[in-house]
């Protein structure tokens, strides 16, 4: 087993473990903090995949903004924070079964795929991933339309959320 | 060298955990936490396919970035909905939000 | 292995140092807790109510606007990297991108959501 | 290759040779040497941090016409070490009902988020730190961890003042992160790279001269990010007692305190790197790496001094004023500046250097002037609305 594999296994175990804590912890602020831990593990996974930009953006956007938003939302709706009612549905085992079945289904489907245990080629030494991403995002024959539509989507989200959270009736 | 399958299995497991959270949690905010896990699992897949496919083609990373945008929009609107509901109904338990059922 | 290994080293050492310092404080400091010492500070009076006060929704609005602009700014970074090499039409794309979001800021502003009170 | 030209490499080769002599695996030896190097750097930083306590107290004393620490050792130099001993032998109280794990994790994360920033700092042409191609965004990523640590500290203390203080601080920190992100884009536009070292290497003309407004906005956003006066409402003693760290004592409080000082110094350093050429100073950096490090430290100290100067000169402003200032003035201005810079950069791309620099400078000054004029007329209108009709003529404007 190589060092890279060991690092991957530690990262994966950490990510999945904290992911499990997210869905099982009773205290919602703790769940949000465990989500931060999971997101950090995912960022490490991106770093292992040599996707530097994505790894950093994961931390900036998810931990820096989305997790903060979650914690703020929990504090705003705090009535259910420490109540003693169960945090899970009565028939949680159905959900658990479905989740396990989903995982088994994925595993089964992927097992039959020819590219399943592919290994990665080395990245060309002169390859500038951030520059290539920039070029892909702005050049007209690549992804400039999704780039601009992303802006529209963010605008819609901002307007919609501001309207929703604040319509006083 | 880590084969692609490991990353795919990690993503599948994370997705299943997120799905479990979405299905069983009663608190609406907690359900959104589960959705975040599922989106992250998708992103791991996208980045892994970028790395294990043609590295010079940036489609995988571009889609990941777009998923970030979608996740941000989803969280913003989703949590705003939860807060709005909380202000009207004084609850965030998803089972009790049954106004639209009939 | 890639450059993140060194970042990981920084993270590890950056965690070891404060943990060591706090542990040293824990070892050398006295440990005589009592209920008065452990009660939370509140301007010299007995604490009133619980600490989980209800927050105003304004916090959420500012975090929300922040989230949207954070994602926007992050998306602009690859654009900024390539700017010098691709010429004027890329700049125009950026201008369109930013102006769409400025509309959102103006909307929020006009709705009076950027006021603290 | 001798020690004075490339000390790190010489030392690393020497140590790796020793470890290899012990029969150690080459990769492991490399990692171990890197670990020792990082450890040494961070120890130096912590000593510097202790020294910064003295600098800060001395400087604030001068600003307030006092002497500052002057009893313990020459010029009071031993004072911070006495402070450390005091912090260490102080009882570490944990408030009842606190969330113990989160409560203890917060100061550690706060310090770590500052220390990890030094991973991307290029100290000299041969000491690049981690040569990360997303170094600029790494700054914000580390800041995100710091923000989180404040929320954790405030929430876990089980004290309503700490919770409110923490949340207010976080609301301000995240708000000012937007102009900071936008201003980080300016060096990226000029250099065409997010790598800190490339940014320094391409600064044949300091970016401060090309984009003075950008440097100014970055400084303002950095001060807010640091939570220092005039943006230190987390420490508003009269409103919030002490903010998020009210329940912390002993070394845990020390971690927050030391983290803040080192953070300020670090941002002085980043200000120098991004807008003042980092370790470069008229070719002196090529003479010796030690000289280059000295140049960077002096520049960072100047930046730190400016931050202190602002802190002890300007009064604290209220949270509503702060957020309004950010969202209604600084953020739109920052984005407009990015667009103006991008446009001017594209238009002046083929111009000679002197024209490029003066054109950029002019564009910046014009943008700043226009923004100030718009803000002035808007506030006048607002004031007239608030105060009703125009005051009698003898009231001068």
Report the CATH number that the domain containing residue C22 is assigned in CATH: 1.20.58.1610
Task: Please confirm whether the linkage preceding D92 is cis (ω < 30° from 0).
Answer: no
Chain A residue with the nearest C-alpha to that of D163: A75
Tell me if residue D351 falls in helix, strand or coil: coil
Residue in C51, C60, C61 to test binding to A, most A beta-carbons within 10 Å: C60
What pLDDT shows up at residue B102? 53
Is residue B102 in some structural domain? Answer: no
Domain co-membership, A71 together with A140: no
Domain containing A59 equals 1-83
Domain co-membership, A78 together with A150: no
CA–centroid distance for D219 within its chain: 8
Chain B residue with the nearest C-alpha to that of A102: B16
Instruction: Give dist(CA C38, CA C18) in Å, integer.
Output: 23
Instruction: Give dist(CA D99, CA D240) in Å, integer.
Output: 20
What pLDDT shows up at residue A38? 93
**D124 phi and psi angles, rounded to 5 deg:** -160, 165
Instruction: Give dist(CA D137, CA D183) in Å, integer.
Output: 11
CB contact under 8 A, C68 and B80: no
The alpha helices in D234-352, defined as continuous H runs, are 237-240, 250-275, 289-313, 319-325, 331-347
For C46, which DSSP code? P
**In chain D, where are the structural domains located?**
1-88, 90-346
What pLDDT shows up at residue A45? 92
Q: Identify which of C25-29, C95-99, D17-21, D233-237 has the greatest average pLDDT.
A: C95-99
Q: Residue A16 in contact with residue B16, Cβ under 8 Å? A: no
Which residues of B fall below an 8 Å CB-CB distance to C? 65, 68-69, 72, 75-76, 79-80, 83, 87
pLDDT at position D284 over 80: no
Quote the radius of gyration of chain A (alpha carbons, Å).
20
What pLDDT shows up at residue D213? 92
| Range in D193-202, D234-243, D296-305 with the lowest mean pLDDT | D234-243
Is residue A108 in some structural domain? Answer: no
Express each pLDDT in A88-113 by its tens digit: 777 788 888 888 998 999 888 888 88
Please report how the helices A28-48 and C4-28 are oriented relative to each other, as an axis angle in degrees rounded to 10: 140
Question: Average pLDDT of C10-23?
Answer: 89
The alpha helices in C34-87, defined as continuous H runs, are 35-38, 58-86
Express each pLDDT in B15-52 by its tens digit: 999 999 888 888 888 889 999 999 999 999 999 988 88
Is residue C117 in some structural domain? Answer: no
What pLDDT shows up at residue A1? 66
Q: How many domains does chain C have?
A: 1
Chains B and A are touching, with contact defined as 3 or more CB–CB pairs separated by less than 8 Å: yes
Express each pLDDT in D334-371 by its tens digit: 999 999 988 888 888 888 888 888 888 898 999 999 99
Domain containing C51 equals 4-110
Domain containing B84 equals 4-93
Report the CATH number that the domain containing residue A71 is assigned in CATH: 1.20.120.1200
Per-chain mean pLDDT for chain D:
84
Task: Provide, rounded to the nearest whole percent, the portion of chain B with pLDDT above 90.
Answer: 29
Nearest Cβ partner for C100 among A75, A152, A162? A152
Nearest Cβ partner for C10 among D90, D118, D323? D118
| Range in A150-154, C11-15, D126-130, D316-320 with the lowest mean pLDDT | D126-130
Report the CATH number that the domain containing residue B79 is assigned in CATH: 1.10.287.3510
Per-chain mean pLDDT for chain C:
82
Within chain D, what is the greatest distance between any pair of CA atoms?
90
Q: Residue B38 in contact with residue A22, Cβ under 8 Å? A: no
What pLDDT shows up at residue C31? 79
Domain co-membership, A137 together with A69: no
Domain co-membership, A7 together with A78: yes
Which residues are B27's β-sheet partners? Answer: B93
Token pair of D216, please? 């100014």
Is residue C90 in some structural domain? Answer: yes
Q: How many domains does chain A have?
A: 2
pLDDT at position C1 over 60: no
Express each pLDDT in D226-252 by its tens digit: 877 777 776 666 666 677 777 888 888
Nearest Cβ partner for A59 among D141, D152, D155? D141
Q: Give D73→chain A minimum CA distance, Å.
A: 43
Tell me how crowded residue A117 is: count the other CB atoms within 10 A of its CB: 13
Question: ipTM, 2 decimals?
Answer: 0.89
Q: Residue B4 in contact with residue B24, Cβ under 8 Å? A: no
Express each pLDDT in D62-107 by its tens digit: 888 888 888 888 888 888 888 888 888 888 878 777 788 888 899 9
| Range in C52-56, D51-55, D299-303 with the lowest mean pLDDT | C52-56
Provide CB contacts within 8 A for D343, sequence distance 6+: C91, C95
CA–CA distance from C101 to each of A154, C3, C11, C93, C96 (Å)? 7, 35, 35, 13, 9
Residue in A43, A53, A68 to test binding to D, most D beta-carbons within 10 Å: A68
Q: Which of A30, C65, A73, A61 is nearest to B81 (CA)?
A: A73
Is residue B58 in some structural domain? Answer: yes
Nearest Cβ partner for D134 among A29, A56, A64? A56
Instruction: Give dist(CA D221, CA A45) in Å, integer.
Output: 31
What pLDDT shows up at residue A169? 45
Express each pLDDT in C54-110 by its tens digit: 677 778 888 888 999 999 888 888 888 888 777 788 888 889 889 988 888 888 888
Instruction: Give dist(CA C46, CA D27) in Å, integer.
Output: 59
Which residues are B25's β-sheet partners? Answer: A88
pLDDT at position A12 over 90: yes
Q: Which of A57, A154, A102 is nearest to B22 (CA)?
A: A102
What pLDDT shows up at residue D393? 53
Tell me if residue D69 falls in helix, strand or coil: coil
Is residue B99 in some structural domain? Answer: no
Domain co-membership, A10 together with A73: yes
The span from the first CA to the last CA of chain A, in angstroms, equals 62
CA–CA distance from D246 to each of A71, D104, D256, D259, D338 (Å)? 20, 14, 11, 16, 39
């Amino acid at each position: 087993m190589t060092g890279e594999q060991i690092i991957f296994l530690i990262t994966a175990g950490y990510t999945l473990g904290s992911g499990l804590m997210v869905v099982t912890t009773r205290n919602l602020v703790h769940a949000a903090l465990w989500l931060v831990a999971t997101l950090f593990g995912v960022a490490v996974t991106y770093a292992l995949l040599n996707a530097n930009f994505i790894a950093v953006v994961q931390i900036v956007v998810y931990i820096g903004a989305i997790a903060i938003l979650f914690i703020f939302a929990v504090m705003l709706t705090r009535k259910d924070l420490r109540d003693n009612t169960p945090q899970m549905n009565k028939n949680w085992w159905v959900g658990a079964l479905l989740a396990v079945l989903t995982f088994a289904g994925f595993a089964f489907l992927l097992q039959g795929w020819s590219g399943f245990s592919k290994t990665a080629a080395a990245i060309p030494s002169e390859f500038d991933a951030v520059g290539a991403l920039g070029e892909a995002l702005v050049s007209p024959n690549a992804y400039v339309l999704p780039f601009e539509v992303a802006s529209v989507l963010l605008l819609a989200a901002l307007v919609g959320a501001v309207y929703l959270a604040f319509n006083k009736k | 060298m880590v084969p692609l399958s490991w990353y795919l299995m990690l993503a599948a497991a994370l997705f299943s955990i997120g799905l479990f959270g979405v299905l069983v949690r009663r608190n609406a905010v907690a359900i959104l936490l589960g959705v975040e896990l599922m989106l992250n699992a998708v992103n791991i897949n996208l980045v892994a396919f970028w790395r294990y496919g043609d590295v010079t083609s940036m489609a995988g990373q571009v889609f990941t970035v777009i998923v970030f945008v979608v996740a941000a929009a989803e969280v913003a609107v989703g949590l705003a909905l939860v807060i709005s509901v909380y202000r009207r109904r004084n609850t965030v338990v998803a089972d009790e939000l049954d106004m639209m059922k009939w | 292995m890639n450059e993140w290994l060194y970042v990981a080293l920084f993270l590890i050492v950056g965690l070891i140092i404060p943990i060591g310092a706090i542990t040293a404080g824990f070892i050398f400091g006295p440990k005589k807790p009592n209920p008065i010492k452990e009660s939370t500070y509140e301007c010299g009076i007995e604490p009133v109510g619980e600490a989980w006060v209800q927050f105003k929704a304004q916090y959420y609005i500012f975090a929300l606007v922040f989230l949207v602009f954070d994602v926007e700014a992050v998306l602009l970074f690859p654009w900024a990297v390539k700017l010098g090499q691709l010429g004027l039409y890329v700049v125009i794309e950026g201008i369109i991108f930013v102006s769409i979001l400025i509309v959102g800021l103006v909307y929020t502003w006009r709705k009076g959501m950027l006021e603290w009170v | 290759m001798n020690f004075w030209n490339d000390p790190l490499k010489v030392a690393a080769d020497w140590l790796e040779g020793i470890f290899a002599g012990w029969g150690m695996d080459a990769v492991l030896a490399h990692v171990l040497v890197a670990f020792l190097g990082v450890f040494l750097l961070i120890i130096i930083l912590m000593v510097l941090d202790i020294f910064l306590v003295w600098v800060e107290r001395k400087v604030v004393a001068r600003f307030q016409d006092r002497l500052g620490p002057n009893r313990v050792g020459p010029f009071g130099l031993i004072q911070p070490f006495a402070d450390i001993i005091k912090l260490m032998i102080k009882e570490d109280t944990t408030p009842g009902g606190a969330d113990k794990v989160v409560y203890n994790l917060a100061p550690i994360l706060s310090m770590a988020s500052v220390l990890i920033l030094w991973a991307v700092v290029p100290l000299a042409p041969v000491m690049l730190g981690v040569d990360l191609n997303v170094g600029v965004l790494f700054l914000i990523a580390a800041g995100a961890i710091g923000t989180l640590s404040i929320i954790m500290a405030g929430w876990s203390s089980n004290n309503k003042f700490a919770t409110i203080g923490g949340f207010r601080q976080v609301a301000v920190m995240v708000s000012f992160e937007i102009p900071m992100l936008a201003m980080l884009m300016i060096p990226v536009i000029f250099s065409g790279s997010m790598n800190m070292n490339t940014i320094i290497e391409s600064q044949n003309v300091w970016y401060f001269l090309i984009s003075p407004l950008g440097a100014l906005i970055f400084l303002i956003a950095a001060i807010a990010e640091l939570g220092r006066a005039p943006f230190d409402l987390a420490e508003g003693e009269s409103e919030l007692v002490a903010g998020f760290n009210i329940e912390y004592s002993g070394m845990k409080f020390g971690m927050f305190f030391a983290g803040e000082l080192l953070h300020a110094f670090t941002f002085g350093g980043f200000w120098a790197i991004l807008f003042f050429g980092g370790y470069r100073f008229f070719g002196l950096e090529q003479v010796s790496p030690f000289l280059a490090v000295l140049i960077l430290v002096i520049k960072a100290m100047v930046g730190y001094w400016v931050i202190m100067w602002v802190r002890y000169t300007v009064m604290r402003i209220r949270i509503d004023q702060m957020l309004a200032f950010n969202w209604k003035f600084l953020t739109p201005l920052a984005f407009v500046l990015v667009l103006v810079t991008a446009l001017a950069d594209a238009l002046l791309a083929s111009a000679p250097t002197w024209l490029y620099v003066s054109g950029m400078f002019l564009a910046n000054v014009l943008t700043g002037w226009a923004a100030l004029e718009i803000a002035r007329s808007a506030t006048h209108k607002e004031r007239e609305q608030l105060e009703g009709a125009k005051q009698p003529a003898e009231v001068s404007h």
